[in-house]
Structure 1
Amino acid sequence: MDKSNFSNKNLPTNSDSSTRILDLTEFQQLSEIPVELEWYANLDNENTRRTYKIALRDFMQFTGIRKPEEFRQVTRAHIIAFRDELKRRDLSGSSIRNKLASISSLFEYLCDKNAVTHNPVKGTKRPPVESYEGKSPALGDHQARALLESPKDTTLKGKRDRAIIAVLLYHALRRGEVCKLKVKDVRQERRGVLHMKVSGKGGKTRYLPIHPVVSGLIHDYLEESGHGHDESGPLFRSLSNNRTMSKTVGITTDAIYKIVQFYSENMGFRIGVHSLRATAATNALENNADIAKVQEWLGHANISTTRIYDHRKTRPEDSPTFKVSY
């Protein structure tokens, strides 16, 4: 390639230097940021950032790493020693896998940036994948109906909470996805059918046909709240010091957790938000929904994750025991 292609004359020029936002010192400081910090700053999801931060802080304390650049001296021996230390702490297999996955993500980025030659986490034996069956128990149909009817829809809070529970039960959204919903996201028409635009993990977007029950409850909630005209505002809003809905403060993931906890405890049991996702997925599969479509519906990257909710092969009534006839 002709070296003249890289000369200054081929660079774009800034005709108006007064429009520059960064001064020379700031420009230099940004150019000197280690790629390790660049990787962390590039993480969009707040929950992912928190998880990775905890894992890396734990690893840094174990290895004595003090500066980002020291990650480049890590070998597979360090990773194995860290894994064995986590086992000695009696951490669950899934917790150990998550911590190693966090570290692996960093090294994959360093490899892409040519800061290291390989990812030392690769090839390190990890604890086997556990069966997650039963960890987020699915509700029975009668329990799901009772939970949906628990909020009293005569108040703004009741209408909001009922609409939230309906979205979780009928569309299997993650609580973070519920928090991201905007008013316009539940007004997406595709092929004449009302859809919900869901912003999922990894920046992936999916469109879900809205169940009539959910559509009706959201309509009642927006009519009561009066913020249906605010298309770009959050759909579900905080009610803390906001009874008139004058503030555009979206509900938090913690608030959604507390809503599900409160109404389930009133029914005599206690569940987390993920149980409603498990309930929706299990119910859809039990009613013969195609598992590949359920995978897309849930926003799973791998169908093996979706199979966690498929209990059809373990139903007692389907056992060959009951097919034997003499």
Structure 2
Amino acid sequence: MTTAAVTAPVAPSPGRPASLRRRRATGLAVCVAAVLLACVASLAFGSRVVAWPDVVAGVLHPDLDDIAQAAVHSRITRTLLGALVGAALGLAGAVMQGLTRNPLADPGLLGVSSGASFAVVCGIAWLGVSSLTQYIWLAFLGAAVAAALVYAVGSIGREGATPLKLALAGAATSAALVSMVSMVLLTRTDVYDTFRFWQVGSIGRASLGEIGQVLPFLLVGAVLAVGSARGMDAIALGDEVATGLGQRIGRVRALGALAAVLLCGAAVAIAGPIGFVGLVVPHAARRFTGPDHRWLLPYSATLGAALLLAADVVGRLVARPQEIEVGIVTALIGAPVFLMILRRQKVRDL
């Protein structure tokens, strides 16, 4: 498909900067409030609905002999993971759309999800990997290698890593890796039962220790993403203009891609491949911030956290006392939005 350029940043008129900043700051505060509300809902709702006093007690000083407070205490890790993974995917999606100037870019564009899936299925099939702690690192390694391969292939030629070449290299790599995953599963049917629980995408099976293992990667990725914001604003104007403004395009794209790999790889490793968050959230954020990445990135992180937590709550409520995994819920939400984006951008096939 062709890459439809993300709208280039337009400088506000001299009389508007202060009011524009106030509106954006107010909007960001509303987004943070939405995350807090989603966190409360995540703690309160599930197979058992917990009253507000028990939510507070279960967080601050839980009595584990009390069923309601014990339920809240058991949901804290899930809520923390949902907020972190949602923020990481939203932030990574904004970075990837900015780097490629492609409004359809998401964390799958650089082959991160498919690379992680292939590494995990190989680890289960041939290395005897059976615990989440073990295949976190395999997933992260697979994601990083796949993204590096996509960037290397997309950089071939005199023009370097252009948006179109990166998109095509990512699509080809993802398709090849998905086929290889299917090949392994077809030849090793005993692997499927273990792999499918990770592949569906869930935030309900990790521990605080496992979150601690991926947290440094998420933090470093977030810092690199925010540090690349000004460079991505220049890239939105076109590579030639960005170079004329003094930006080192190769360096900005390399750091941005590294940020996306760290964020996506860590999120996918611990929660599985959760789709559409990285695609939908930046589009929603851009309606409030415009194309300025200094505001777009924090909006995307907070909206991503709120969306993933809300989707997880919905999955727990609609199938009580069972639950629908969050990866399925986000797909149901994201697919119609994806179609709307396609119609709006009038994307054509090559």
The answer to which structure has the higher helix fraction is 2
TM over 0.5: no
TM-score (norm: length of structure 2): 0.23
Structure with the larger RCO, 1 or 2 (CA within 8 Å, 6+ apart)? 2
Q: Which has more radius of gyration?
A: 1
TM-score (norm: length of structure 1): 0.24
The answer to which structure has the higher strand fraction is 1
